[in-house]
Every structure is written in structure tokens, then in C-alpha cells.
Amino acid sequence: MAILSERKKEIIVNFGGDPKNTGCTDVQIAILTEKINELTLHVKANKKDYASKRSLYHLVAQRKHLLKYLKINNNEKYIALLKKLKLRG
């Protein structure tokens, strides 16, 4: 269920620009979104895996807090990121 390192590096370059820019809020949100997408597929296939469901809720909450932070500090970047990740319609 973990993200492959090649995919993670690709996400970091796409959203952070520099391969070493892993602390950027955009990069963190993009990585969390990728993890959430993979874990969602797992939870749909394994309905009784409550531990994975709980960790999915935790990841969603973590992403929500980062999105809220980004919205407050840089609203233009927030809107662009939502469009790029295809979140919220």
C-alpha cells in the first residue's frame, strides 16, 4: 500500500520543482492525496479492514489541515492545487 519511490519522486518534481523540495505544502498534499487514493481502493476491496480505514481517516484529516493552512496563507496557490489534483469538483 505504500507509494513506490519512483512515483513519489515524480510527485515531488511535479509539485515542488526540485527533487529535494519535500517540505513544500503542495508536495505534502500531493503525496497524501496519492496515499489516500491507493488506500481508498484497498478499503473498498477489504470492507472489514478497520485499521486501514482508521489510517485513511487520519490521512484525510492531515490533508484537510494542510489544505486549510494553504488556503489561509496563499489562496491562489490553493485554488491552483485543487484544480491540478482534481479535488472538490
Contacts of 31 (CB under 8 A, 6+ apart): 3, 8, 11, 12
d(CA 77, CA 7): 23
Contacts 24+ apart (CB under 8 A), 21-28: 25/66, 25/69, 25/70, 26/70, 26/77, 26/81, 28/66
What pLDDT does residue 4 have?
86
Mean pLDDT, each 10-residue run in order, the chain (89 residues): 85 90 94 96 96 97 97 96 89
The full set of domains in the chain, from first to last, is 5-85 (1.10.287.10)
What pLDDT does residue 75 have?
95
What pLDDT does residue 18 have?
87
